[in-house]
Structure 1
Amino acid sequence: MSSRLVEQLGARSVAGASATALARQITALILDGRLTVGERLPSERALAVELRRSRSTITRVYGLLEADGYVTRHHGGSTRVALPHGPALPGQDGDGDAIDLSIASMDSTPGLYDATVRSLPRLAALRGTSGYSLQGLPELREALAQRFTERGADTTADEIIVTSGALNAVNLILTAIGRRGERALVEQPTFPHALEALHRHGYRLVPTPVDTDGWDTRHVTDTLLSARPHVAYLISDFHNPTGATLPQEERSRIAATARHVGTHLIVDETTAELDIDRGWAPVPLAAEGPHVITVGSMSKIAWGGMRIGWIRAERSVIARLLAVRPSFELGTALLEQCIAVELLRDMPALGAHVRSRLTAGRAAVAEGLTHLPGVRMPRTPGGLSAWIDLGAPVSTALSLAAREQGLILPPGPRFTTGGVLERRLRIPITLPPERTAEAMARLALAWGDLVGGGRQPAAEMRHAAVI
């Protein structure tokens, strides 16, 4: 079994890379969080065997990392991930100058303040209660159930649990039904923190490809039949990061196959309401049967500061979730729940705000990319971001160059299970247009540095190993 470092690097993608290039790639893994501070790296001998490189090359790699402060080494002992003690990285010095594109999220909806004011009498009426809300306020669960029903999946309030965000919901599900050592089907690419949650709960990840033109449904169903994973994590609407939407007939085919092999489908609908101009509205996968567990969130349609999420599942699963939840939390904050009730009463206004902001953000990204020759932006009908094709496997190199321009931009492999998709880059369409324009100007400078020879000769880019 390969080490986590090699899984993140992708052994094939670093074949033939110089010691300097390998050190840069590992630096990128550290900077965007794929390797964590204090994590133990393989020994020089073990890494040389895994990468089929000489030990002297690996010694040089670790030496470069140590010189730059990204690892600490002890003679005859371990090599561990560290961060330099020098000047802060972009975005960590508090001056507000860095632009962070690792977070794809909008600022709050204009209706948030009024909704907060309207929610206060409801909160005041709860002062005579214990204040704990293990399953969630009945009014909020009723509103969420109604929204599912309106979209085509008949739902009742007792099939809903309110959580502290969608990621909290995923972790609650895995705590309740997870099985260490089992397989989990995941999309490639996908939401990185979901991958981390599955890893932490002991799952072995089995990827299936997704691109801007959608899923390979045959690959999904064949993998379900052959691997028989215990769970599958899917983002079926405005997939993060590709923006694709799973067609209705493919939803039914995948759900039927999952039901046949006994796979729990965990469907993340955090981005489901982020429609710009898709032109059609699918029925939620929740309508396909009791083996589908759906999570959602207010963070993308209202504000990330509102830690409100939910789980929609059959009653027996809800009972298991409620039995486990007190072991790590006793419910979700009441004020946020009261505000969410008010916001859900005005979904048309929320939708209009989202559509307006995403339309402007998409246009700003498209305009900025005109200054990057050879880079292609796909049609982006909604969602959080554009999944850019760079035309060459230089995503990590561009991410490093962008940091020198005060731009924090995770490379394509950040969204994968094994260091692949170096041609791709996720650019959020959620920032205000003026902020996006500045981010794209900085990206253009980084691109010019990269292709102009600042990091690597342009003639070598298409055939280079990951940097």
Structure 2
Amino acid sequence: MGSRLVELLGAQHVAGSSASRLSDQIRALILDGRLTVGERLPSERSLALELRRSRSTITRAYDTLDVERYVDRVHGGGTRVPLPGSHLSPGPAVGDEAIDMSIASMDSTPGLYDATVRSLPQLAALRGSSGYLLQGLPELREAVARRFTERGAPTSSDEIVITAGAMHALNLVLTTIGRRGDRALIEQPTFPHAIEALRRHGYRMQATPVEVDGWDAGHVTDILLSARPQAAYLIPDFHNPTGATMTDAAREVIATTARSAGTLLIVDETTAELDIDRGWSPKPIAAFSPDIITIGSMSKLAWGGLRIGWIRADRRLVARLLAVRSSYDLGTALLEQCIAAELLTDLPSLKAHVRARLSAGRAAVADALEGFDGIRMPRTPGGLSAWVDLGAPVSTALSLAARDRQLILPPGPRFATGGVLERKVRIPISFPPKQAAEAMERLHLAWDHISQSDATAIGELPRTAVV
């Protein structure tokens, strides 16, 4: 079995790499967190064998990383990723002027302050209670259930559990249903933190491709029927990062097949309400099967700092979730639940704000990309980002060059397993136009730099069709 480092690098992308290029690839893995603090890297000899490179090449790559203090090398103790503060902070100095596009999110909705003020009497009325509501505030559960029903999936409040965000919801679900060593179906690309959560819970992941124009439903159903994974994690609405939306027909086929295969579908609807101009409204996958587990949150719709999420599941699973939750968490902050309940009373205003902000951000990115030779922005009818085809496998090189210019932009492989997607990069459309324009200017400088580099000259690499 190969090492995790080679899995992340993608052996096909580092085959024949120089020591300098290899050290750059490993540096990128450390900078974006795919290699974690304290993780031990393969020995020089074993890595040389896996990559079919000379040991001297691996030694030079490790030596470069050691000098730059990305790794610690101890004679007889191996090579490990150090704490960022144990030597120097890794990477070029990233100061207050840096623009961080690793997080695709917006600032708060204008109605957040007023909703907070309106929620205070409700919070005051709860002071006579214990304050521990394991399943969540009844009013908020009712509001979330009502929204599912409006969208075509009849739901009652006792099928809702309120959590501290969508990642909290996902981890609670995986803790409850997870079986270490089982298979899980994921999309490729997908949300990086979901990959990490599934890996941490011991799943062996099998990927199905997603492009800007959608899913191959036949491929998904083939995996479900042949591999019979225990779980599947899907983002069917304004998929992160491609922005694609799954058709109702595909939802029905996948939901029905998953139920037949005994696969628990975990559907992430965090981005479901981020419509700019899609032109149609799909049903939730939960409308097609009673066994679907759905997670969502307020973070993209209202504000990332409002740590409110939810799980929709059948009553039997809800009981299991609550039994597990009580062992490490006794409920979600009541003030935030009261605020969320207030915000959901005027969902049209929330969505109008999101639509205006994302539309402006999308226009700023599209305008800027016009100045990049051979690159166009794909159709992006909603969601938080554009999934851009660079035309050549230079995503990691571009990410490193961007960081040198105070722009943090994760490379395409960050959204996949196995080091693939080097031709792609996720560009958020959630930034205000002025900041987006500045970020794209820095990205243009990085693009020009790698285009002029002998090692990664864009014109010398095989190109894909422009999307």
Cα separation, 2, equivalents of 1:370 and 1:91: 30
**Which residue number corresponds to residue 293 of structure 1?**
293
Q: Report how far residue 87 of structure 1 moved.
A: 6.1
Distance 1:92 1:127, change over 3 A: farther
Question: For the Cα contact (< 8 Å) 1:274–1:354, is it kept in 2?
Answer: yes
Structure 2: which amino acid aligns with 1:38? G
**Which residue number corresponds to residue 246 of structure 2?**
246
Structure 2: which amino acid aligns with 1:59? T
Q: Report how far residue 454 of structure 1 moved.
A: 7.3
**Secondary structure class of the residue paired with 1:130:** coil
Cα separation, 1, equivalents of 2:92 and 2:334: 36
Distance 1:312 1:378, change over 3 A: same
**Secondary structure class of the residue paired with 1:349:** helix
Q: Report how far residue 88 of structure 1 moved.
A: 6.9
**Which residue number corresponds to residue 161 of structure 2?**
161
1:415 aligns with 2:398: no
Q: Report how far residue 91 of structure 1 moved.
A: 7.7
**Which residue number corresponds to residue 396 of structure 1?**
396
Q: Report how far residue 426 of structure 1 moved.
A: 0.2
**Which residue number corresponds to residue 22 of structure 2?**
22
Question: For the Cα contact (< 8 Å) 2:70–2:90, is it kept in 1?
Answer: no
Q: Report how far residue 361 of structure 1 moved.
A: 0.3
Gaps of 5+ in 1: none
Q: How does 1:283-322 map to 2 (within 5 A)?
A: 283-322=283-322
Q: Report how far residue 455 of structure 1 moved.
A: 5.8
Cα shift readout 1:150-188 (whole Å, capped 9, x = no counterpart): 000000000000000000000000001100000000000
Q: Report how far residue 2 of structure 1 moved.
A: 1.3
Q: Report how far residue 393 of structure 1 moved.
A: 0.6
Cα shift readout 1:190-236 (whole Å, capped 9, x = no counterpart): 00000000000000000000010100111100011111000000000
Cα separation, 2, equivalents of 1:448 and 1:272: 36
Q: How does 1:176-325 map to 2 (within 5 A)?
A: 176-325=176-325
Distance 1:88 1:330, change over 3 A: same
So what's the TM-score if we normalise by structure 1? 0.97
Q: How does 1:436-447 map to 2 (within 5 A)?
A: 436-447=436-447
**Secondary structure class of the residue paired with 1:153:** coil
**Secondary structure class of the residue paired with 2:311:** strand
Distance 1:91 1:281, change over 3 A: farther
Distance 1:77 1:87, change over 3 A: closer
**Which residue number corresponds to residue 449 of structure 2?**
449
Q: Report how far residue 122 of structure 1 moved.
A: 0.2
1:151 aligns with 2:151: yes
Question: For the Cα contact (< 8 Å) 1:184–1:206, is it kept in 2?
Answer: yes
Q: How does 1:372-383 map to 2 (within 5 A)?
A: 372-383=372-383
**Which residue number corresponds to residue 351 of structure 1?**
351
Q: Report how far residue 65 of structure 1 moved.
A: 1.0
Q: Report how far residue 456 of structure 1 moved.
A: 3.4
Question: For the Cα contact (< 8 Å) 1:398–1:447, is it kept in 2?
Answer: yes
Cα separation, 2, equivalents of 1:87 and 1:333: 34
Structure 2: which amino acid aligns with 1:445? L
**Secondary structure class of the residue paired with 1:382:** coil
Cα shift readout 1:242-282 (whole Å, capped 9, x = no counterpart): 00000000000011110001000000000000000000000
Cα shift readout 1:46-85 (whole Å, capped 9, x = no counterpart): 1111111122211111111111111111112211013473
Structure 2: which amino acid aligns with 1:213? D
Cα separation, 2, equivalents of 1:458 and 1:161: 49
Cα separation, 2, equivalents of 1:67 and 1:91: 16
Distance 1:328 1:91, change over 3 A: farther
Q: Report how far residue 328 of structure 1 moved.
A: 1.4
Cα separation, 1, equivalents of 2:34 and 2:221: 29
Cα separation, 2, equivalents of 1:278 and 1:35: 37
Question: For the Cα contact (< 8 Å) 1:212–1:244, is it kept in 2?
Answer: yes
- For the aligned residue pairs, the C-alpha RMSD in angstroms reads 1.3
Distance 1:283 1:458, change over 3 A: closer
Cα separation, 1, equivalents of 2:457 and 2:243: 32
Identity in percent: 70
**Which residue number corresponds to residue 78 of structure 2?**
78
Cα separation, 2, equivalents of 1:215 and 1:87: 40
Cα shift readout 1:100-142 (whole Å, capped 9, x = no counterpart): 0000000000000000000000000000011111000100000
Cα separation, 2, equivalents of 1:88 and 1:59: 20
**Secondary structure class of the residue paired with 1:209:** strand
**Secondary structure class of the residue paired with 1:462:** coil
**Secondary structure class of the residue paired with 2:462:** helix
Question: For the Cα contact (< 8 Å) 1:402–1:446, is it kept in 2?
Answer: yes
Question: For the Cα contact (< 8 Å) 1:109–1:353, is it kept in 2?
Answer: yes
So what's the TM-score if we normalise by structure 2? 0.97
**Which residue number corresponds to residue 110 of structure 1?**
110
**Secondary structure class of the residue paired with 2:330:** coil
1:34 aligns with 2:34: yes
Question: For the Cα contact (< 8 Å) 1:7–1:418, is it kept in 2?
Answer: yes
Cα separation, 2, equivalents of 1:308 and 1:375: 37
Cα separation, 1, equivalents of 2:323 and 2:366: 48
Structure 1: which amino acid aligns with 2:68? D
**Secondary structure class of the residue paired with 2:296:** strand
1:430 aligns with 2:430: yes
